[in-house]
């Protein structure tokens, strides 16, 4: 929880310095949606951390991949978006790939019912954040609203920080924490900006690339003599799953692009 607050707080403050006072104030023009987005983002962190404690890493990794499905559902209900046939097909292929990638880590869903519910709640909370930001992007610049969402989300997560002192991180751990802080700003800012230009449905499908990219990077670290990332076997099932994820995303995006070109 401490690292989560640090990530959100540092991202918000850095963004505030980059944007300046006038552009940050622009985020105040839609306080309700900003608050909804902040609550969604903060709840995503809190629910996932708690769910991870009860359900375990493997089960949590599988269940959190339902976030794109929740985003598509909310896009239909709240944004009046209707996924095209190509998007449904691509999403199906990508989802099958995600399940294959995660299968060998879980074998079967395990963990307490509470943990499973919390991770699903985290996935739903993330989709609420994404929908709120999509609606904000229609009329407001992404930078100012994102800054306020970061800072308010840090306030949401802050009560979960333990009061007991923790061991001070070593130098390499500080490097990892610094990377997480930078990644929070870059990843969420890019995602928010992308939502201004593409449909939430398309963004949801692209989000399924996460596991495939993770295993691709893991394959690289497995070949490098380094003590920081534990070795993890890359099996045929995981390779096939990663290929299906990429193929599903490419299929969905190209079908949507082709449909758009035909309509134009």
What are 153-198's pLDDT values in tens digits?
999 999 888 766 566 777 777 888 888 889 888 888 888 888 888 8
Q: What's the pLDDT at 108?
A: 52
The DSSP result for 129-163, as a single string, is HHHHHHHHHTTS-HHHHHHHHHHHHHHHHGGGS-S
262 pLDDT more than 50: no
Q: Which residue has the higher pLDDT, 64 or 22?
A: 64
The dihedrals phi and psi of 99, each to the nearest 5 degrees, come to -65, -40
State in Å, rounded, how far the first CA of the chain is from the last one.
48
Q: Do 192 and 137 meet the contact criterion of CB atoms below 8 Å apart?
A: yes
What value, to the nearest 5°, has the Cα angle with vertex 155 and ends 154 and 157? 65
Q: What's the pLDDT at 261?
A: 42
Q: Which residue has the higher pLDDT, 258 or 55?
A: 55
Q: What whole-number distance in Å separates Cα of residue 251 and Cα of residue 246?
A: 8
**CA dihedral over 66, 97, 239, 210, signed as positive or negative:** negative
Least confident of 72-81, 147-156, 158-167: 158-167
Rg (CA), the chain: 19
When the pLDDT of each residue in the chain is averaged and rounded to a whole number, the result is: 77
């Amino acid at each position: 929880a401490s690292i989560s607050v640090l990530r959100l707080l540092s991202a918000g403050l850095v963004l505030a310095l980059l944007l300046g006072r006038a552009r940050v104030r622009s985020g105040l023009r839609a306080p309700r949606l900003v608050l909804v987005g902040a609550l969604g983002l903060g709840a995503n962190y809190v629910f996932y951390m708690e769910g991870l404690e009860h359900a375990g890493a493997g089960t949590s990794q599988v269940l959190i991949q339902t976030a794109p499905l929740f985003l598509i559902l909310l896009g239909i209900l709240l944004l009046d978006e209707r996924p095209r046939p190509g998007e449904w097909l691509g999403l199906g292929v990508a989802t099958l790939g995600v399940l294959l990638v995660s299968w060998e880590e879980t074998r079967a869903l395990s963990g307490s019912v509470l943990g499973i519910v919390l991770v699903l709640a985290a996935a739903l909370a993330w989709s609420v954040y994404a929908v709120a930001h999509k609606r904000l992007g229609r009329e407001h610049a992404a930078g100012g609203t994102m800054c306020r969402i970061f800072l308010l989300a840090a306030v949401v997560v802050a009560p979960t920080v333990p009061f007991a002192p923790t061991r001070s991180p070593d130098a390499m751990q500080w490097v990892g924490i610094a990377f997480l802080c930078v990644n929070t700003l870059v990843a969420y800012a890019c995602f928010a900006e992308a939502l201004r230009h593409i449909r939430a449905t398309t963004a949801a499908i692209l989000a399924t690339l996460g596991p495939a990219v993770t295993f691709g990077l893991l394959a690289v670290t497995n070949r490098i003599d380094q003590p920081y990332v534990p070795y993890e076997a890359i099996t045929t099932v995981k390779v096939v799953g990663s290929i299906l994820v990429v193929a599903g995303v490419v299929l969905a995006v190209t079908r949507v692009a082709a449909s758009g070109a035909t309509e134009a």
